[in-house]
Structure formats: C-alpha cells, structure tokens
Amino acid sequence: MSKLKIAIVISTTRATRFGHKPAEWVKTIAAERSDMTVELLDLRDYPMPFFDEVASNAWAPTTNEVAQRWQKKVAEFDGYIFVTAEYNHSMPAVLKNALDYAYPEWVKKAAAFVGYGAVGGSRAVEHLRLVAAELQLATIRTGVYIQGADFMAALREGKDLKEIPHLQQGVRDMLDQLAWWSTALKIARQQDVLTKAA
C-alpha cells in the first residue's frame, strides 16, 4: 500500500500565535516515519469568510473559491492531526469554520489531536471530538496535551518542545494509533469503491 497522507492542521491564525510551533514539532517527529507523508495545513492560507453558503457541501456545492480550494486540499489526506489552542474552553472559531466548510472530504478518515494551553487545550480537544463524530471522523484515543509548566516554558521562554521527552513519546504513541486507524479506514474506503463498482 502507498504511504498514508497525513495533514497537520495549524488551527490559529492571529499574528502573534504560538500554534505553528507545536505543529512544526509534530511534523518533525512524524517525518521520521516511513509509513506516512506529512504536510502542514495552515488556516492562514485559507482565509474563508464565516460560513455563508446555502448549505453544507454535504448537500450543495460551495461557491466561495477559497473554500473550494480548502475542500480540494482536505480531500487529499487519509488522516489529520489537529493542533489546537483552547479559546474560552473550546476550539478557535477559525478552526470550527474550516471544519464546517467541508464534509465529504472528512468522512471515514482518522483524526488525532494535539492541544496546548493551561490544561493542554484538553477542553477544546473534547469539543473537537464531538464535532469530529458528526463529520464521520474516527478519533484517536491518545492525544498530546502541552500544559502547565511545559506550556508556559514553551510559550513565554521559547523552550523547544523537543527538549520535553514525555511529550515526544506522547506524539509517537499518537502517531502509531493514527497510522493504524488511517490504514484501516483507507482499506475500507477502497473496499467501498470496489463494492460500488461491482
């Protein structure tokens, strides 16, 4: 089977964001693996308006050109790693908007989460898991939560995340699970195509 294609989504866009740092760190660890290729998806590159279509693209084609480009990009992948901040105990609005702007592109694929914040972005990740269920994304048990002193050291003192061994191991465990589920779902999606063609 060809290598899995995994997207790492940078979920915040503000000028002084921290979000690209954990995303790049996860990419470096994932790039050591031979079973997947990884690509960063930066929501800054997809400046979509707040959702303004007649319906989800599950029901009606999207007219906004940036959103069409986003949907095409999302469709390329077998699995996703959402690297998310926690804004008032949930996911950043820009991420929710981007999730809403696609539907079939997410379906029957796998999703993993890396959160950061005072409690590791865990409340945002739990909300994301509920949203993912509606998008028919299968979520991976092991999340990575950059929290407390680790988060403050990285945010305020610029500590490199690769210097925090327990977080590195967490990413590796998450990637193992993501690879398993992404492979299983890729085979199942291919089987869907074969069944429909028969």
> Hey, which bits of 85-177 come out as E strands?
109-116, 137-139, 144-146
Stretch that binds ligand FMN, among 28-36, 61-69, 85-93, 137-145 (CB under 6 A): 85-93
Stretch that binds ligand FMN, among 42-50, 116-124, 131-139, 163-171 (CB under 6 A): 116-124
Cβ proximity to ligand FMN: between 97 and 183 the closer is 97
Q: Pairing between strand 4-10 and 36-42?
A: parallel
Q: Token pair for residue 74?
A: 């999302």
Q: How many residues does the chain have?
A: 198
Contact mark string toward ligand FMN, 129..168, x via CB under 6 A: --------------------------x-------------
Scan residues 18-57 and list those touching ligand FMN (CB under 6 A).
18-19
Cβ proximity to ligand FMN: between 30 and 95 the closer is 95
3-state SS assignment for residue 71: helix
Cβ proximity to ligand FMN: between 17 and 44 the closer is 17
Binding status of residue 89 toward ligand FMN by CB under 6 A: yes
Cβ proximity to ligand FMN: between 11 and 182 the closer is 11
CB of 12 to ligand FMN, least distance (A): 3
d(CA 118, CA 100): 27
How close are the terminal C-alpha atoms of the chain, in Å? 21
Q: Which of 114, 110, 132, 111 is nearest to 182 (CA)?
A: 110
d(CA 112, CA 84): 11
Scan residues 3-22 and list those touching ligand FMN (CB under 6 A).
12, 14, 17-19
* Residue from the set 79, 117, 143, 170 that interacts with ligand FMN by CB under 6 A: 117
Which residues have C-beta within 8 Å of that of residue 190, sequence separation ≥ 6? none
What is the contact surface with ligand FMN in residues (CB under 6 A)?
Answer: 12, 14, 17-19, 85-89, 117-119, 155
